[in-house]
Structure 1
């Protein structure tokens, strides 16, 4: 088994982005993402909430074949308002969506970071080429997941869903 750790950060409100997103809007979007992940991350095909109790959501996520880190995952999701959402999968894979201020503390300096701790049981440490190939693929997927989520939240604010 191989463990691959990755993180990607993107500015939430880069120069010229409209509307400028606020922390409450982003938080509302992240809460929707917990329940409707396929609206936010293109490699997710479906998301079925199995239980939503006391602030903990258990869900089953299915990935587009060949595009995600695996075919499907059972996840326990916890929110830590307004800073992060934590996704823990049954195989030990861990994902965290973090909202943080930059040095100025202004909305234009707000950042979203997705941190990934992928457990990949089908790859061994011996197969260095396969590990590097998977790292590259997962790094691209990580970037797309962050940027896509921000774009979708912005569109939801524009059209009034948030």
Structure 2
């Protein structure tokens, strides 16, 4: 079995980004992402909420063929407002979306990090297959963070996110 752990961070409001997103807007976007993951992450084909109660969402996501770590996943999602969202999958995979401050400490210097803890029982540590999967997932992580930020910005522009 191989465990692949990786993280990717991107600045939410790089120079020239418009509009500048506030922490409240980013948090509203992450709340929407819990229920409509396919709008934010290109490798996700669909997201079905199975249960939504007391701040805990159980959902099933399906990945586009050959693009996700597997074809589908059942997840239990918990939030710690307004800093992170935690996705625990039924196979032990764990994903966290974190919003953090940069040195300036204001909305102009927000960052988003996605952390991934993948488990692959069918792949052996140190193999070429493990290296290929790590490279693929690293590219997916970058795309997931950046597309989520881009989607939140578009939703603010078109009025779907107003906070």
TM range (shorter): over 0.9
For the residues of structure 2 that align with 1:125 and 1:105, how far apart are their CA atoms?
40
For the residues of structure 1 that align with 2:125 and 2:158, how far apart are their CA atoms?
47
Q: Counterpart of 2:131?
A: 132
Q: Counterpart of 1:47?
A: 47
Q: Counterpart of 1:12?
A: 12
For the residues of structure 1 that align with 2:159 and 2:95, how far apart are their CA atoms?
28
For the residues of structure 1 that align with 2:121 and 2:144, how far apart are their CA atoms?
22
Query: Are 1:112 and 2:106 an aligned pair?
Result: no
Q: Counterpart of 1:80?
A: 80
Q: Counterpart of 2:2?
A: 2
For the residues of structure 1 that align with 2:120 and 2:13, how far apart are their CA atoms?
34
Q: Counterpart of 1:150?
A: 149
Q: Counterpart of 2:65?
A: 65
Q: 2:119 aligns to what SS in structure 1?
A: strand
Q: 2:18 aligns to what SS in structure 1?
A: coil
CA displacement at 1:151 relative to structure 2: 0.1
For each residue in 1:27-77, what CA deviation from the matched residue of structure 2 results, as whole angstroms up to 9, or x when unmatched? 000000000000000100000000001000000000001001110000000
Aligned length in residues: 161
Structure 1 gap ranges (5+): none
Q: Counterpart of 1:141?
A: 140
Write out aligned runs for 1:84-103 (5 A).
84-103=84-103
Q: 2:29 aligns to what SS in structure 1?
A: helix
For each residue in 1:69-118, what CA deviation from the matched residue of structure 2 results, as whole angstroms up to 9, or x when unmatched? 11000000001000000000001100000000011102221100000000
Q: Give the CA RMSD over aligned residues.
A: 0.7
Post-superposition, which runs of at least 4 consecutive aligned residues in structure 1 deviate over 6 A?
none
**TM-score between both structures, scaled by the size of structure 2:** 0.97
Structure 2 gap ranges (5+): none
Q: 1:105 aligns to what SS in structure 2?
A: coil
